[in-house]
């Protein structure tokens, strides 16, 4: 994807064609082998790092800031005095393993930078001039190719959101994860929506049902009439949709039964979002036996005095703690639940999925987890979130 972006962006292509060692990593542009002089009047080489602004996945836009980052010592004049015209601040930002910025620099033209060629060229000129005056042979234009080893390789386009939020390095916590989502109704489809935006290795979908009209009203996005008329299985509809972003979504157009539980054997984590409580027990027992952690979600809604009340549930099961499951997860079907005939409740499905995915991310260490709860419920009418079954 980085080579495609470089080839389709005239400013990046010009940098590459002129011999700059450029690399696209997540939402950053890295320019390696920038000559500079340190305070000991030695010629060194650093890395310029700029945020990338994209107008589409394959084309850069005008830089949204004149500030740039640098990996290395502070560049100096040839006598070892610091170049003060670009001084901005010390800045420690982890770009990827092995690459951390040390400083940010500021040099703003009256009208800003038109493109990344102008921005990189100007900062290189300021930083490298002293080094070139000391050693005529040094150059930033090495014509050396650098491959893109970004952790975003599972995506079809670059994740600029993580770089803007300065959390790109945290994405390594998702490395190697193979996720299964059992059930692609309202809550399961929203779980997929959120998981597809993380760089997990694979996302496996299990559901044997068709994507019908009513599903469109409790699922993320907006299905077209043409898509509904195709009568696709849910797994194929959602695979087609989310493969626009994530490369490794694997559809299984069947329900999980005793006959195919072994399809879960290679999973790192499983989300259970099935409608029938009686189905859950076989899945949960099998996952516990295989020591595969999971989250089971549930949503119960009833009509009372012309209003809906109800509770959302998120229950985590792990090898270390499973003694709470019998008291928290129902394994028998409940007919006293108005959720089935009142299925157009996308906000509740979305919230249930969001709470489940946040808990999964806490388990991985992406979010801090000070309670380590294994069961939480949200009561709609009192807006109360309660955490229970705390693990020590």
- 220 with 362, same domain: the answer is yes
Query: Cα 271–276–278 angle (5° rounding)?
Result: 95
Q: Is 21 helix (H, G, I), strand (E, B) or coil?
A: strand
Contact 36, 131 (CB under 8 A): yes
164, 196, 223 — which closes off a domain? 164
What is the chain's pLDDT, residue by residue, as a tens digit (392 residues)?
466 788 788 999 899 889 999 988 878 999 999 999 999 999 999 999 999 999 888 899 999 999 999 999 999 999 999 999 999 988 788 887 778 899 999 999 999 999 999 999 999 999 999 999 999 999 999 987 555 555 557 888 767 677 667 677 788 899 999 999 999 999 999 999 999 999 999 999 999 999 999 999 999 999 999 999 999 999 999 999 999 999 999 999 999 999 999 999 999 999 999 988 778 999 999 999 999 999 999 988 888 888 888 899 999 999 999 999 999 998 876 655 444 444 458 999 999 999 999 999 999 999 999 999 999 999 999 999 999 999 87
Partnered with residue 204 across adjacent β-strands are 180, 250
Q: Is residue 170 domain-resident?
A: no
- 357 with 318, same domain: the answer is yes
- 239 with 378, same domain: the answer is yes
134, 164, 194 — which closes off a domain? 164
- What phi and psi, each to the nearest 5 degrees, are found at residue 205? -110, 130
116, 138, 164 — which closes off a domain? 164
Q: Is residue 169 domain-resident?
A: no
Contact 313, 299 (CB under 8 A): yes
Pairing mode of beta strands 178-182, 269-272:
parallel
How many other CB atoms are there within 10 angstroms of residue 252's CB atom?
Answer: 18
- 18 with 156, same domain: the answer is yes
Contact 278, 331 (CB under 8 A): yes
Q: Is residue 257 domain-resident?
A: yes
- 6 with 136, same domain: the answer is yes
For residues 47 and 278, what is the distance between their CA atoms, to the nearest angstrom? Answer: 58
- 141 with 272, same domain: the answer is no
Structural domain range at position 359? 176-390
Q: State if pTM tops 0.85.
A: no
For residues 192 and 181, what is the distance between their CA atoms, to the nearest angstrom? Answer: 7
Q: Is residue 356 domain-resident?
A: yes
- 141 with 202, same domain: the answer is no
Tally the C-alpha atoms within 13 A of residue 249's C-alpha that lie toward its C-beta: 28
Tally of structural domains, the chain? 2
For residues 390 and 323, what is the distance between their CA atoms, to the nearest angstrom? Answer: 11
Q: Is residue 61 domain-resident?
A: yes
- 156 with 181, same domain: the answer is no
Q: Is residue 171 domain-resident?
A: no
187 alpha carbon, distance to own chain's centre: 19
**Is the sign of the CA dihedral 122, 126, 131, 135 positive or negative?**
positive
- 48 with 196, same domain: the answer is no
Q: Is residue 315 domain-resident?
A: yes
CATH number at residue 279: 3.40.50.720
- 118 with 247, same domain: the answer is no
Contact 29, 47 (CB under 8 A): no
- 160 with 211, same domain: the answer is no
- 155 with 184, same domain: the answer is no
């Amino acid at each position: 994807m980085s080579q495609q972006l470089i080839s389709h962006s005239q400013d990046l292509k010009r940098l590459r064609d002129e011999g700059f060692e450029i690399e696209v990593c997540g939402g950053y542009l890295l320019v390696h082998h920038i000559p500079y002089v340190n305070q000991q009047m030695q010629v060194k080489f650093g890395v310029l790092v700029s945020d990338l602004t994209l107008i589409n996945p394959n084309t850069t836009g005008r830089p949204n800031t004149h500030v740039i980052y640098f990996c290395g010592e502070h560049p100096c004049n040839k006598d070892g005095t610091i170049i003060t015209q670009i001084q901005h601040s010390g800045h420690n930002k982890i770009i990827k393993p092995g690459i951390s910025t040390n400083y940010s620099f500021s040099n703003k033209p009256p009208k800003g930078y038109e493109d990344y060629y102008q921005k990189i060229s100007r900062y290189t000129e300021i930083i490298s001039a002293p080094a070139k005056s000391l050693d005529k042979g040094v150059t930033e234009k090495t014509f050396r190719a650098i491959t893109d080893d970004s952790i975003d390789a599972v995506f079809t386009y670059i994740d600029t959101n993580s770089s803007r939020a300065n959390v790109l390095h945290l994405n390594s916590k998702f490395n190697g994860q193979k996720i299964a989502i059992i059930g692609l109704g309202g809550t399961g489809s929203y779980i997929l929506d959120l998981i597809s935006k993380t760089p997990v290795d694979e996302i496996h979908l299990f559901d044997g049902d068709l994507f019908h009209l009513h599903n469109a009203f409790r699922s993320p996005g907006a299905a077209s009439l043409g898509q509904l008329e195709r009568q696709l299985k849910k797994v194929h509809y959602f695979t087609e949709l989310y493969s626009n972003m994530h490369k490794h979504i694997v559809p299984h157009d069947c329900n999980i039964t005793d006959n195919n539980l072994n399809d879960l054997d290679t999973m790192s984590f499983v989300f259970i979002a099935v409608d029938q409580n009686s189905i859950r027990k076989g899945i949960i027992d099998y996952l516990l036996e295989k020591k595969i952690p999971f989250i089971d979600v549930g949503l119960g809604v009833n009509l009372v005095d012309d209003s809906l009340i109800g509770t959302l549930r998120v229950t985590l099961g792990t090898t270390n703690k499973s003694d709470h499951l019998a008291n928290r997860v129902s394994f028998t079907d409940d007919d006293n639940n108005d959720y089935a005939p009142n299925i157009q409740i996308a906000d509740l499905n979305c919230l249930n999925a969001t709470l489940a995915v946040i808990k999964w991310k806490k388990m991985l260490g992406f979010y801090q987890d000070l309670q380590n709860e294994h069961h939480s419920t949200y009561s709609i009418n009192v807006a109360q979130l309660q955490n229970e079954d705390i693990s020590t």
